[in-house]
Amino acid sequence: MVDAKKNDTYFKEQLEVISERIEVSAQSVGRNPHEINIIAVTKTRSIAEIEKLISVNHRIFGENRVQEAQGKFLKLKERFPNLELHLIGHLQTNKAKDAIALFDVIETLDRPKLAKVLLKEMEKQDRWPRCFIQVNTGAEEQKAGVLPAEAPAFVEDCRKMGLPIEGLMCIPPVDEDPAIHFAFLRELGRRVGLEQLSMGMSGDYEIAVRFGATHVRIGTALFGPRDYSV
Ligand SMILES: *Cc1c(COP(=O)(O)O)cnc(C)c1O
């Protein structure tokens, strides 16, 4: 069900509010706001809600799970070929084939085994989604991502293999100041020559923009709270 309040104006207004905040943050550090992309995170959201965002000219989306994304975006991408879909959740190697077929950007490349499988699928399908390497900046045990100390070598290995590596992605620990993690990711990006940085969510995207985010991943601030029961 689409919430009746969430008509086209609702999404247009939410996008405007978020864009204005991004603009203020970007300008406060002398950045061009136009280099920052809003990824609308649509996990648990309906096709109808996504269509409403498309109708107000939004075109960049993020999903966490391959199967859920297929259910919505296989059809949507046929109807709207200029959509850009990012995978922002953990990718199992047995879903690599479907992920390569559907996504335009894989943000969660985080281990050598996955790099191998992705490359093989890309060659097979001759489809080359851009890749971001997920860095576990907080070295959290339960979290995916390559460890900070191992990141430079992993980036280099992936490049040597021929993978289209374009950026870095991180999800800071919930109980820490995200700024430290954003600053770290930017510094790492500089060191390894990757300018695209996917960092910042509904609660901290303005901070992320000040620290160089080129992609912010926004769910709740656009759609309201998620309902996992549906
Ligand atoms: C769900 C999710 C988001 C969006 O979170 P919000 O707080 O709703 O903006 C961003 N990034 C990742 C990796 C997510 O899983």
pLDDT in tens, 162-174: 999 999 999 999 9
CB–CB of 192/149 below 8 Å? no
Mean pLDDT confidence for 98-118: 98
Give percent of the chain with pLDDT exceeding 70.
96
The residue whose CA is least distant from atom 6 of ligand 1 is 219
The residue whose CA is least distant from atom 5 of ligand 1 is 219
Residue 71 CA, ligand 1 centroid: distance in Å = 19
CB–CB of 136/145 below 8 Å? yes
| Ligand 1 lined by 178 (C-beta under 6 Å) | no
Statement: residue 76 has pLDDT above 80: yes
- pTM as predicted: 0.96
| Ligand 1 lined by 217 (C-beta under 6 Å) | yes
CB–CB of 113/93 below 8 Å? yes
Residue 205 CA, ligand 1 centroid: distance in Å = 11
Cα 91 to chain centroid, rounded: 13
Q: For residue 130, what are the β-bridge partners?
A: 105
Statement: residue 35 has pLDDT above 60: yes
What contacts 132, CB < 8 A, 6 or more positions away?
105, 106, 107, 108, 109, 165, 166, 167, 168, 169, 196, 198
| Ligand 1 lined by 18 (C-beta under 6 Å) | no
Statement: residue 230 has pLDDT above 90: no
Statement: residue 4 has pLDDT above 60: no
The residue whose CA is least distant from atom 7 of ligand 1 is 202
Q: What angle do CA 186, 188, 190 make, to 5 degrees?
A: 70
Classify residue 222 by burial, with Cβ atoms within 10 Å: 0-12, 13-18, 19+.
Answer: buried
| Ligand 1 lined by 215 (C-beta under 6 Å) | no
pLDDT tier at 2, thresholds 50, 70, 90: low
pLDDT tier at 8, thresholds 50, 70, 90: low
Task: Return the pLDDT at 94.
Answer: 98
Nearest to 137 by CA among 194, 180, 167, 198: 180
